Amino acid sequence: MKFRIRTLPLRTERIAVVLSQDDAAELGLLPGDRVKVTFDGRSFVAEVEVTHELISSGEVGVCSFTAETCSLMEECVVNITPFARPKSVEYIRKKLDGAKYEREEIRDIIGSISSDILSEVEISAFILASEIVGMHNDEIQWMVEAMVEVGQKVVFEKGTVVDMHSIGGLPGNRFALIAVPTVAAAGLLIPKTASRAITSASGTADTMEVLANVNLSADEMKEITEKVGGVIVWNAATGIAPADEKIIRVEYQLELSPKPHLMASVLSKKLGSGAKFVAIDIPVGRKAKIENVDVGRSFANSLMEIGRNLGLKVATALTDGSQPLGRAIGPALEAREVLEVMERKVEGDMLEKALGIAGILFEMTGIASSGYQHARKIFESGRTLEKFREIIAAQGGDENVRAEDIAVGDKTYTLHAAREGYVREMDIAVLNEIARTAGAPKDKGAGVYVHKKRGEVVKAGEPLLTIYAEKEWKLDNAIEVANTKQAFEISGVIIERYTMGRW
Judged by the rule CB under 8 A, the positions of this chain that interact with a second copy are 8-12, 18, 25-26, 28, 30-32, 49, 51-54, 64, 85, 89-90, 93, 96, 119-122, 124-125, 128-129, 131-133, 198, 249-250, 252-256, 436-437, 439, 442
Cβ 176 to a second copy shortest distance, Å:
24
What's CA 68's distance to the chain center, in Å?
Answer: 28
Measured from the CB atom, the residue of 253 and 491 that comes closer to a second copy is: 253
How would you label 57-69 residue by residue, b for 16+ Cβ within 10 Å and e otherwise?
eebbbbbebbbee
Measured from the CB atom, the residue of 7 and 309 that comes closer to a second copy is: 7
Measured from the CB atom, the residue of 192 and 474 that comes closer to a second copy is: 474
Q: Are strands 42-51 and 190-194 parallel, antiparallel or unpaired?
A: unpaired
Q: Which residues pair with 488 in a beta bridge?
A: 426
Cβ 84 to a second copy shortest distance, Å:
10
Which of helix, strand or coil describes residue 265?
A: helix
Cβ 130 to a second copy shortest distance, Å:
11
Cβ 446 to a second copy shortest distance, Å:
10
1, 78, 82, 117, 315 from 60: Cα distances, Å = 11, 9, 14, 19, 53
Q: Residue 158's CB: how many other CB atoms inside 10 A? A: 7
Measured from the CB atom, the residue of 133 and 403 that comes closer to a second copy is: 133
Contact between residue 403 and residue 339 where contact means Cβ atoms under 8 Å apart: yes
Measured from the CB atom, the residue of 486 and 491 that comes closer to a second copy is: 486
Measured from the CB atom, the residue of 340 and 470 that comes closer to a second copy is: 470
Q: Can you tell me the distance from the alpha carbon of 60 to that of 78, in angstroms, rounded to the nearest whole number?
A: 9
Residue 152's φ and ψ, nearest 5 degrees, are: -65, 145
Q: Residue 409's CB: how many other CB atoms inside 10 A? A: 24
Cβ 59 to a second copy shortest distance, Å:
13
Q: Which of 125, 131, 429 is nearest to 259 (CA)?
A: 131
Show the DSSP H helices in 3-63 as ranges. Answer: 21-26
Contact between residue 375 and residue 358 where contact means Cβ atoms under 8 Å apart: yes
Measured from the CB atom, the residue of 49 and 139 that comes closer to a second copy is: 49
Q: Which of 17, 26, 16, 31 is nearest to 59 (CA)?
A: 17
Measured from the CB atom, the residue of 52 and 158 that comes closer to a second copy is: 52
Cβ 318 to a second copy shortest distance, Å:
23
Q: Residue 427's CB: how many other CB atoms inside 10 A? A: 18
Q: Can you tell me the distance from the alpha carbon of 69 to that of 65, in angstroms, rounded to the nearest whole number?
A: 6
Contact between residue 351 and residue 174 where contact means Cβ atoms under 8 Å apart: no
Measured from the CB atom, the residue of 110 and 129 that comes closer to a second copy is: 129
Residue type, 225: T
DSSP at 180: H
Cβ 202 to a second copy shortest distance, Å:
13
Cβ 119 to a second copy shortest distance, Å:
7
Cβ 9 to a second copy shortest distance, Å:
5
Measured from the CB atom, the residue of 295 and 318 that comes closer to a second copy is: 295
Cβ 161 to a second copy shortest distance, Å:
33
Cβ 472 to a second copy shortest distance, Å:
13
Enclosing H/E stretch for 190 = strand 190-194
Q: Residue 76's CB: how many other CB atoms inside 10 A? A: 13
Measured from the CB atom, the residue of 198 and 293 that comes closer to a second copy is: 198
Measured from the CB atom, the residue of 172 and 439 that comes closer to a second copy is: 439
Cβ 442 to a second copy shortest distance, Å:
4
Q: Can you tell me the distance from the alpha carbon of 33 to that of 85, in angstroms, rounded to the nearest whole number?
A: 7
Residue 140's φ and ψ, nearest 5 degrees, are: -65, -40
Q: Which of 25, 405, 299, 349 is nearest to 1 (CA)?
A: 25
Q: Which of 118, 163, 122 is nearest to 277 (CA)?
A: 163
